[in-house]
Amino acid sequence: GENVEQHPSTLSVQEGDSAVIKCTYSDSASNYFPWYKQELGKGPQLIIDIRSNVGEKKDQRIAVTLNKTAKHFSLHITETQPEDSAVYFCAASGPRVDGLTFGKGTHLIIQP
């Protein structure tokens, strides 16, 4: 089955700086890659996603890039703000309808 590795497990950045979280996946058939943000005590919230026919997608301060050849994808957050502090999860899914495979999460800490 699919295996998703996520790094780093903890990332601390100064407010206003950029943050990058990276994920790799194992199944070349995977074709959908979402990113979720989870705040303490809440469910994961979908913040951005990308499909395999696209190399990059942006939404304001957030962007995701995908390299299908290398089987890795990354989340980029620019001009970080205190409200960006949370745990971020990457995930992957393939053409089969059988759920998402998640990375283990990155705890992003924004230092004032």
Partner 1 sequence: DAGITQSPRHKVTETGTPVTLRCHQTENHRYMYWYRQDPGHGLRLIHYSYGVKDTDKGEVSDGYSVSRSKTEDFLLTLESATSSQTSVYFCAISESRETFDTQYFGPGTRLTVL
**Footprint of partner 1 (CB under 8 A):** 1, 6, 32, 34, 36, 42-46, 49, 89, 91, 93, 97-105
- Considering the complex, state which of residue 22 and residue 78 has its C-beta at the smaller distance from partner 1: 22
CB of 43 to partner 1, least distance (A): 4
Question: How far apart (Å, rounded) are the C-alpha atoms in residues 105 and 90?
Answer: 7
Q: 6 or 65: whose CB is closer to partner 1?
A: 6
- Rounded distance between C-alpha atoms, residue 98 and residue 73, angstroms: 21
Q: From 33, 46, 32, select the one nearest 6 (Cα to Cα).
A: 33
Q: How far is CA 10 from the centre of its chain?
A: 13
Nearer residue to partner 1 within complex by CB, 12 or 45:
45
